[in-house]
Amino acid sequence: MKTLREIKEVLKGICVSPSLLSCDFSKWAEEIASAKAAGANLIHWDIMDAHFVPNLTFGHPVVKKLRPHSDLVFDVHLMIDDPVTYAPKFREAGADIITMHIESPAFKDAKTVTDTLTGLKNTGCAVGLVVKPKTPAEAIFPYIDLCDIVLVMTVEPGFGGQSFMADMLPKIESIKSEIEKRGLDCALEVDGGVDGETKDLCFKAGATAFVAGSYLFGKPDMAERIKAFYAMEKKQNG
């Protein structure tokens, strides 16, 4: 398993995190291997409990079973009512990054959020908070110093294949400027409707980590598509 230092090193540059929600569930291991072969440096796990979002996916035993099959950074996105109980289980299963929704009912007070983030960090896990489209950026500011990553949802969580919400761009900018103002070592990730065009808008707004499901999985030119994500940085640098 990767150390926190190694994970943070990956998070410093552009990250491409194909969402397994769009993969062929009859061949998980091959799908993860194909994402890596196509150039992805993260792999995104969408965990849904049919309460926090109106959809049900998979639990920590699936993550645990696949862990020995890949050395990709496992980027686990918890869309569940109770990340306080379950985040540690996903960590034990092999998650490298765990992001949790600030709107989760189990985050009943500030101390619970802080304790959960700190507890996971102490195990060497990279941690982050997620904001749904209707949640303002400011909701996570009290905890941003503890975050290795912040995830901005650019669709309502629950399903793949939805359209990108361009009105989330100012939120990305505002979180980016808070990160810079505080001089934090915190990555900024976007999730939902990310494709060849919307990725550029997110990158311009300050995002450096990109989740993409339907745009990447099952596409014969997945490698070309992924290459274009990394090219944004090169373009900017020269």
Catalytic residue list: 46, 191
Q: Where are the alpha helices (DSSP H) in 67-221?
A: 83-93, 110-121, 169-182, 198-205
By CB under 6 A, the residues from 53 to 92 that bind ligand DX5 are: 77
Q: What is the DSSP code (8-state) at residue 135?
A: S
SS3 call for 155: coil
| Nearest approach, Cβ of residue 57 and ligand DX5 (Å) | 9
Residue with smaller CB distance to Zn ion, 44 or 176: 44
Distance CA 159, CA 157 (A): 6
Residue with smaller CB distance to ligand DX5, 145 or 157: 157
Q: Under the criterion CB under 6 A, does residue 188 sit at the interface with ligand DX5?
A: no
Out of 47, 193, 198, 208, name the contact with ligand DX5 by CB under 6 A: 193
Q: Under the criterion CB under 6 A, does residue 22 sit at the interface with ligand DX5?
A: yes
By CB under 6 A, the residues from 143 to 162 that bind ligand DX5 are: 155, 157-158, 160-162
List, edge to edge, every strand of the sheet that includes 126-131: 15-18, 209-212, 187-191, 149-153, 126-131, 97-101, 73-79, 42-48
Out of 10, 14, 15, 21, name the contact with ligand DX5 by CB under 6 A: 21
Residue whose C-alpha is closest to residue 71's, from 3, 5, 1, 6: 1
Q: Give which of Zn ion, ligand DX5, none residue 214 binds (C-beta under 5 to 8 Å, depending on kind).
A: ligand DX5
